[in-house]
Amino acid sequence: MSMPWTYRHSEKEFKSFLKDAKDRMGSVLESDKMAYTVVDGVLHVFRRRLTPPQVIAFGDVLPSSLRAMLVRGWNVDAVPLPFGSRSEMIREAQELRQTRNIMPLNIMPLNVIEATGYALWRHVDHRDLARVLAQIGPEAVAFWHVPGVAENELQQQII
């Protein structure tokens, strides 16, 4: 078996992902570190709503660096939280990151979930991600939905 592309080129792939997320969030994020912090918060907000098998299934379709971020610090015994409104989950991502990195709430953009979803769709196989999200449920599909963006803009990028 050959080495998967995502392992051989993980740094290049991750930098491309962060650039897409950072660009989508606008000029408030000045560095890759800030973009990483925001994306990490969004992934953890999503993970907190999944069962362990769902986390593994979702992680399995992610690029390797995002997969590692998804499971880092994971308490597999935690009871999944219900999905909330988009604004509630954005606030949760902001609070998670403020606690861990002392990033002021006013620096974290309000489109953190949308921007992370935008970058995610551009870096995964759409069939695999759509299948896994559908298996998790409509709330998962809605969480990663990117409103107002043309399908061709979300096509998986060749890096």
Establish if 60 belongs to a structural domain.
yes
Predicted TM-score (pTM) of this structure: 0.90
Average pLDDT of the residues in 13-20: 95
Please report whether residue 144 resides in a domain: yes
34-63 pLDDT, tens digit each: 889 889 999 999 999 999 999 999 999 999
CB distance 13 to 6 below 8 Å: yes
Using pLDDT thresholds of 50, 70 and 90, give the confidence band for residue 104.
Answer: low
Residue 1 lies in a domain: no
Helices 126-136 and 52-59: crossing angle in degrees, nearest 10, is 170
**Residue 54 to residues 62, 74, 85, 107, 145, Cα–Cα distance (Å):** 13, 13, 20, 31, 18
Would you place residue 7 in the very low, low, confident or very high pLDDT band (cuts 50, 70, 90)? low
- Give the Cα separation of 116 and 103 in Å (integer): 17
Is 133 inside a domain boundary?
Answer: yes
Domain with residue 95: its CATH number is 1.10.490.110
User: Which domain does 141 fall in, by range?
Assistant: 11-72+83-154
Q: Which long-range contacts (CB under 8 A, 24 or more apart) does 114-118 make?
A: 114/24, 114/146, 114/147, 115/21, 115/24, 115/25, 115/38, 116/21, 116/38, 116/39, 116/42, 116/43, 117/143, 117/144, 117/145, 117/146, 118/20, 118/21, 118/24, 118/146, 118/149, 118/154
What is the token pair recorded at 134? 């559908």
Domain count, the chain: 1
Residue 4 forms part of a structural domain: no
Model confidence pLDDT, tens digit, residues 109-142: 889 999 999 999 999 999 999 999 999 999 999 9
Dist CA 73 CA 116 (whole Å)? 20
H-type helices in the chain, by residue range?
5-8, 10-25, 32-47, 52-59, 64-71, 86-101, 112-121, 126-136, 138-144
Per the domain annotation, does 146 fall within a domain?
A: yes
Do the domain assignments include residue 28?
A: yes
| Cα–Cα distance for residue pair 105/122, rounded to 1 Å | 27
